Amino acid sequence: MESPLSAESAPPTPAPRNHTPSPSPRAEARELRMEEKERTEEDPIYLSLLSEVSVFVEESAEDASEKAEEKAEEKAEEKAEERAEREAQRQLLATEELVYTERNYLRLLQVCNCTIRSNLQKLQPQLPNLDSMFLYIEEVIDMSGRLLSLLDQKQMTPHDPLFLETLCDAFLSLSTDMESAYKEYLVNYNTVTALENSYKQKDALWTEIVKVIKSSAPEVNAASLSFFLVMPVQRIARYPLLLQTVMKHTEPGHPAYSLLEQTAHTAIALNCRINEYKRFREVADKYKKTETLTIRDKMNRLNSHSIAKKTARLSQFIKHETGIAPKLVDEEFDALEGFFYLLENGITVLHENVETYLDHLQRFLNCRPEEFDLDMDGERPAICYKEIITALRQWILPTFEKRMRTLVHKPLCALRELLAGPRNLISKRLDKLLDYELIEEKPSLSYDEQAVANTYKTINTLLLNELPQFNGLALTLLWGMLGAFSCLHKDLAADMEQLFQGFTQQLPHGSLEPNAFWEWAECSVQEGARRLESLCWNVKDQLNAPIVQPLSPGSQKRLKVLTDKHGSGKIYQLTGHVVGSRDLDLSLNRGELVAIISEMDTRGDKRRWLVDAGGPRGYVPSSRLVRYHQVTMDPPPSPHLITTMDHAGGVRRHSYTPDVRRPSYTPDTPQPLLVRTMSMTVPCLQVLAGYDFRARSSHEVSLRAGEPIRVLEPHDKKGSCDWSLVEVRGQRGYVPSNYLTVMPTSTTPTAPYR
């Protein structure tokens, strides 16, 4: 039996599995809160307090968010205002920079053009082509001054709200004139740099130039002219940058924003057009120059590339002419080209005529017959003539000539020189057109081919744009010179009329009626012209008549030797110098005597005769030989040459008659029947064959040049003087009259002119 103690100390028996465990402290607390919440939710007082608290919390949150938004908006507005102020300040600074730099730019250009230029002109010796350095700078200065003047007229400062609109309006109104002024200056700037480089090559001269520049503008650290002259080149390119800077800091809502945007785009387009014009002018200057190259220079330029290019052009040109390939036709350019060549021809002809006119006028002024003693001092008409012609030569005509050279001749020469540029460009366009046609149909072009195409398009566009202007200006100048020519002659006629009025009553025919006076003047002029013409022909015939020179002792000795050896019929005389060019050829002087050995060479060539020159023997051209006839005191009768004028006014070359007498001239002698004669009373002439002639029928006879002939009749059976009946070598026949020439064998004193 167990004791109670041992029973109590034994471990408890485990509980069965379905028994629920006791909850944890957290779970109990959660349950208590849930129960309390349920009790409070059921309590109306609690519910009212809870709603009031939640409303208060929500209102506080809304107020806080509104305050935060207000603060954010205030900060954003402050930032926007600060940004707007900064942009406005930057806009103001950019505008002030544009105006300030424009004023400074104008001041420096005026210093350069006025002070420095005038001081450089004082240098001795004077600088060559100094005016070319400052070409078109006055137009640029004028444009800058006009721009600032438009801004100053409004009496505004950059701080004024409307100043920006004023600036844009001024720039837009001057954009066209600005382009015209700056584009010419930029084109000429290459000449400026070239001239300055030429000055720098002379150290002493360049030192003087630098001294003048530094003394003329001490406030500027300038050491060359290009410091000032490059400013317009830089300024025109800076306008778009300055305007874009102003536009960048201008709000789109600004009243002047659209106008400012238009001005900036105009400045950019202006620079593009100026650069395009400069490129055109560079191409024109390259191709319009007229090069004078020697054959050696042209040979040095030949290479494989140039030969291939010229061959391709020639091939394309031949294809055009033969119709193998179609030619690119531009009707507008063809019309301009045709008018240019027509204008060029007119200018050239007028230039030649004016030069001839001035040359004749100068010859008239140099000829002063009134200064000679003509034994007419007692006659009143001669005295009046001397006084009139003296006034003409000393005052009226020299003044007229000076005005003619200044107003007509010099402008005409300058205009003619200007034609060379367009002419060369038109020629180059044709060459470039042939190159362009070869590559026109290619789908893709290389770099060189693209350059060729661009060159042709540039020249073509340049000619289409500027050739009409050139033609118009040239035509205007031509009409102006023709008008000046007419006005000068009108003034000359008025001066001469005023001069002659003082001598009208002193002349014997001054009282005649106008019709009777002009009839008398016409008859007097015609009579004087006939007498003067006759005198001129007589003097000319006397001066041109060849004179037979006596033989020198050496020639006489050679003549005797050759005559004894070969006979007088073989003696010939050289009509000109002969220089031997082949073996066995002789070199002889004009007038030397030779004897004919054979009338052909060993090959049967009758153009080379074998002759004996009194020692050496050789060949000479037969055309240089003429039969020698010794002059005798009593020469045999020979025909005499006269020259007559036919009814058509032409001069017949040869006509022969056994005797000639000088006709007497009367005022009633009709001019078509006027006969001009040789002034020698009894000239003895020898008729020779001037050229070789081969007979073509039995009625004709053959001639050899230099062969003496006898003229039987100076005409044919029909009376035509184109053929003459002659006797040569015992044969008779007809030969052309213009194949005959005359050599004098003796001369006698001429009869005085009456």
Average pLDDT of adjacent 10-residue blocks, the chain of 754 residues: 41 46 58 61 61 64 75 77 80 88 93 92 87 91 93 81 88 92 92 90 90 89 89 94 89 86 93 91 80 75 78 83 80 91 94 94 84 64 78 89 94 92 89 84 81 87 91 94 95 88 74 84 90 84 53 80 87 85 84 89 87 89 81 40 38 38 41 36 65 84 86 81 86 87 54 34
Task: Kindly state whether residue 74 falls inside one of the protein's structural domains.
Answer: no
- Structural domain harbouring 167: 82-287
Same domain for 360 and 483, yes or no, is yes
On the CB side of 196, CA atoms within 13 Å amount to: 17
Who's near 430: CB < 8 A, 6+ residues apart? none
Side by side, the strands of the sheet bearing 608-612 are 617-621, 608-612, 593-598, 571-574, 625-627
Same domain for 147 and 244, yes or no, is yes
Name the residue with tokens 């031997």: 580
Which tens digits make up the pLDDT trace of 56-102? 666 667 777 777 777 777 777 777 777 778 888 888 888 889 999 99
Same domain for 581 and 689, yes or no, is no
Same domain for 119 and 237, yes or no, is yes
Domain edge (last residue) among 229, 259, 287: 287
Same domain for 623 and 646, yes or no, is no
Q: What does the DSSP 8-state code read for residue 578?
A: B
- Cβ–Cβ under 8 Å, residues 742 and 655: no
**Domain total of the chain:** 4
Domain edge (last residue) among 501, 536, 563: 501
Same domain for 264 and 319, yes or no, is no
Task: Kindly state whether residue 601 falls inside one of the protein's structural domains.
Answer: yes
Task: Kindly state whether residue 97 falls inside one of the protein's structural domains.
Answer: yes
| CA distance linking residue 435 with residue 62, whole number of Å | 84
Name the residue with tokens 């190259």: 293
CA-closest candidate to residue 589, choices 543, 563, 554:
554
Question: The domain that contains 168 carries what CATH number?
Answer: 1.20.900.10
Same domain for 319 and 453, yes or no, is yes
Domain edge (last residue) among 595, 627, 659: 627
State how far the alpha carbon of 543 is from the alpha carbons of 536, 642, 687, 748, 750, in Å. 10, 16, 20, 14, 12
Same domain for 272 and 182, yes or no, is yes
Residue type at position 94:
A
pLDDT of residue 57: 61
Torsions phi, psi for 352 (to 5 deg): -65, -40
Same domain for 481 and 572, yes or no, is no
pLDDT of residue 36: 60
Cα 177 to its chain centre, rounded Å, is 26
State how far the alpha carbon of 743 is from the alpha carbons of 655, 729, 732, in Å. 14, 19, 21
Residue type at position 538:
N
CA-closest candidate to residue 507, choices 375, 384, 389:
384
Same domain for 606 and 656, yes or no, is no
The string of DSSP codes covering 690-726 is: -S-B---STTB--B-TT-B-EEEESS-TT--TTEEEE
pLDDT of residue 606: 86
For the chain, give the number of residues: 754
Task: Kindly state whether residue 70 falls inside one of the protein's structural domains.
Answer: no
Same domain for 596 and 666, yes or no, is no
Task: Kindly state whether residue 323 falls inside one of the protein's structural domains.
Answer: yes
Q: What is the pTM of this model?
A: 0.54
Task: Kindly state whether residue 400 falls inside one of the protein's structural domains.
Answer: yes
Question: The domain that contains 576 carries what CATH number?
Answer: 2.30.30.40
| CA distance linking residue 335 with residue 463, whole number of Å | 12
Task: Kindly state whether residue 632 falls inside one of the protein's structural domains.
Answer: no
Task: Kindly state whether residue 752 falls inside one of the protein's structural domains.
Answer: no
Same domain for 582 and 686, yes or no, is no
- Cβ–Cβ under 8 Å, residues 383 and 377: yes
CA-closest candidate to residue 676, choices 539, 527, 524:
539
pLDDT of residue 497: 85
Cα angle for residues 204, 207, 208 (degrees, 5° grid): 90
Question: The domain that contains 456 carries what CATH number?
Answer: 1.20.1270.60
- Cβ–Cβ under 8 Å, residues 174 and 268: no
